[in-house]
A and B are shown apart, each in its own frame.
Chain A
Amino acid sequence: EIVLTQSPATLSLSPGERATLSCRASQSVSSYLAWYQQKPGQAPRLLIYDASNRATGIPARFSGSGSGTDFTLTISSLEPEDFAVYYCQQRSNWPPTFGPGTKVDIK
């Protein structure tokens, strides 16, 4: 099973700042990585798939990059609604696995 590690566990930033979240895989997942956002009491929302493709309706301030074992989710300028937990997920190998999440909170 591929293990995904996310860092940092918590990121404290102010609105308008740039957020950089990291996801590292225990072995190569090629570009088969996605990012999800989850707010308290809500279901996750797909942001990015195949490492760098924005899902339908996702604002351009969200971007993904990376391949192999190292991936990054960047939020170029944080909006108030972006404070949430972010999970990465791989589908390269069975079973699909999620990272433990990075919480982006208000500084």
Chain B
Amino acid sequence: EVQLVESGGGLVQPGGSLRLSCAASGFTFSSYAMSWVRQAPGKGLEWVSAISGSGGSTYYADSVKGRFTISRDNSKNTLYLQMNSLRAEDTAVYYCAKDRTDHRIQLWFDYWGQGTLVTVSS
């Protein structure tokens, strides 16, 4: 059974940093691209970042480029999102999501974690 479990969310002041983690199990983690998708309270979904299975290719939304860094440790089956220079508008539930296919970045998300809430406020 595929499981994705996020952690690391919390309350942080504007300008602060936070690192999210997503522990994966039930599939060959290194074979699949992974993404972070966020949802502001009461709002819709916004794709944030993606990383290839090997970790060699990374992609970012313009809204986070230069501030967020996606990475993965395939030996630990874990995905990360390092978030720096946080702003109030980054407040959201952050989901990690698995790509549906294992041979390229496809960006159809067939499994999602339960999400972790990041609140940026003074």
Looking at the assembled complex, report how far the CB atom of B40 sits from the nearest CB atom of chain A, in whole angstroms: 12
Total A residues in contact with B, Cβ cutoff 8 Å = 22
Task: Write out the residue numbers on chain A whose beta carbons fall within 8 Å of the beta carbon of B106.
Answer: 91
| A44 touching B109, Cβ below 8 Å | yes
Looking at the assembled complex, report how far the CB atom of B118 sits from the nearest CB atom of chain A, in whole angstroms: 16
Decide yes or no whether B115 CB sits under 8 A from chain A.
Answer: yes
| B45 touching A98, Cβ below 8 Å | yes
| B113 touching A101, Cβ below 8 Å | no
How big is the B interface, by class? Answer: 10 to 19
Decide yes or no whether B87 CB sits under 8 A from chain A.
Answer: no
Known: A91-B108, A95-B61. 20 other contacts (CB 8 A): A34-B108, A36-B45, A36-B109, A38-B45, A43-B113, A43-B114, A44-B37, A44-B45, A44-B95, A44-B112, A46-B108, A46-B110, A87-B44, A87-B45, A89-B45, A91-B107, A95-B47, A96-B47, A100-B44, A101-B44
Binding site for A on B (CB under 8 A): 37, 44-47, 59, 61-62, 95, 100, 106-110, 112-115
